[in-house]
Amino acid sequence: MKQAVQIKENVYWVGVRDLNNRHFHGELYPIEEGTTYNAYLIVDDQVTLIDTVEAEFADECIERIVSVLGDRPIDNIILQHAEPDHSGAFVKIYAKYPNAKVYASQGGVRNMKAQYFGDVPIQVLKTDDTMSTGKYTLTFVEMQMIHWPDNMLTYSPELKVVFSNDAFGQHIINYQMTDENLDRWYCIEQAKEYFANIVLSYTAQVKAKLNLILSKNWEIEYIMPAHGIIWKQYIPDILAAYQKFANLENKNKVLIVYQSVWNHTQQIAESMAEGFAAGGMEVKIYKLSETKSSIVFREAMDSKLICLGSGTYNNDMSYSVAAFLEHLRAAKLKGKKGLTFGAYGWFPKVPSILDEKMAEAGLEMVQNAIGQSFSPNQEQLDNYYETAKEIAKNL
């Protein structure tokens, strides 16, 4: 039998580890080591389950619950988010505990009924609603668009725990459960990657809700998200990091991404990378076809300048560059500057097309697109180096 993991007195992790998942949210977010679907059990005068797991892991979640409760029933089920990785096991769990009272936000009620059923009574929770389970009080905060309209989080002042659902999540599998045996930088970088690929389009909402949470001056000993590790040692760090993420604070950094047919566009990219570095900027450079999109957008999030290059493919940009542009448009990045470049043979328009698409995505272009006919010679490569160095100094 799978066992629950006790996190603190009367609070247990009853989630699952999806060790073989490498594509979170379909192709949207490639991940390295799998993920977790975290569900939590509070054992008090009333037993409360916060969130469930993916449908295929329902039996494992139930085993962990039973390892704590035995034959005792669950009294309350809090559905903080109706997305299937958090709600998919609900039907099977509710069938085992049919007398449990079920709670969700107004959007959560609508989404649960649309996805799974129409006859289970679900009580609506709003921001600042509270519930007593005996010794513990649960307070609820709606977290609309972080990253669905139905998201919410739950706080217990007696436990000093925030159950944050998707907020503060990451894809770290750690059998010790908390961040205490992990490197701080690694934890924050994983949270940054999660934010960049799941939450980035909703920075305004994150900023507003984060300010609301901080204004409440909650005592927090644990932040328990729905994916990844539980925050304990690095709570001040993740709260500070989220403020930076939400404000899209730029480092003195340039991200160069490109796709190249015959290495000509790559030569331009590499010459500019050295020029930007000589001008004092941190440089990240990736070939799009060889790099996971999750990494690219993690680095885009705090880059001051984004440079995009493409060779010419049948009189058009490469497919991977087109996909990047669509993702960039959806990400709604603010306060970024852009530069485009590319090599061509007889059709010279691809770099200027990239220019237009980058501007449409909200970037301010630092100069006209750089176009290179066939192979760049050394003088031209030196010019690209000097151009990048000058842009870096001006930025």
Which is the catalytic residue, given 194, 202, 222, 286?
Answer: 194
What is the side-by-side strand order in the sheet with 101-105?
A: 5-8, 11-13, 40-43, 47-50, 76-79, 101-105, 122-125
Question: Is 86 tagged catalytic?
Answer: no
Question: Is 71 tagged catalytic?
Answer: no
d(CA 61, CA 64): 5
Q: Write phi, then psi, for 192 (nearest 5 degrees).
A: -65, -45
d(CA 288, CA 215): 41
d(CA 258, CA 270): 10
d(CA 30, CA 25): 9
CA dist 67 → 11, 14, 91, 99 (Å): 13, 9, 20, 20
DSSP letter string, 251-284: EEEEEEEEE-SSSHHHHHHHHHHHHHHHTT-EEE
Question: Is 83 tagged catalytic?
Answer: yes
Using alpha carbons, select from 249, 138, 147 the residue that is nearest to residue 198: 147
Which is the catalytic residue, given 85, 150, 179, 193?
Answer: 85
Which is the catalytic residue, given 18, 37, 97, 147?
Answer: 147
221: which 2 tokens? 């000993």
Which is the catalytic residue, given 166, 179, 193, 355?
Answer: 166
Q: Is 5 helix (H, G, I), strand (E, B) or coil?
A: strand
- Burial classification of residue 317, based on how many CB atoms lie within 10 Å of its CB (0-12 exposed, 13-18 middle, 19 or more buried): buried
Question: Is 25 tagged catalytic?
Answer: yes
d(CA 231, CA 41): 17
Question: Is 81 tagged catalytic?
Answer: yes
263: left (phi over 0), alpha (psi -120 to 50) or beta: left
Which is the catalytic residue, given 227, 234, 258, 286?
Answer: 227
Which is the catalytic residue, given 44, 54, 75, 83?
Answer: 83
Which is the catalytic residue, given 75, 81, 86, 103?
Answer: 81
Question: Is 327 tagged catalytic?
Answer: no
Q: Which residues contact 313 (CB under 8 A, 6 or more apart)?
A: 261, 319
Question: Is 194 tagged catalytic?
Answer: yes
Question: Is 166 tagged catalytic?
Answer: yes
Any idea which residues carry the catalytic annotation? 25, 81, 83, 85, 147, 166, 194, 227
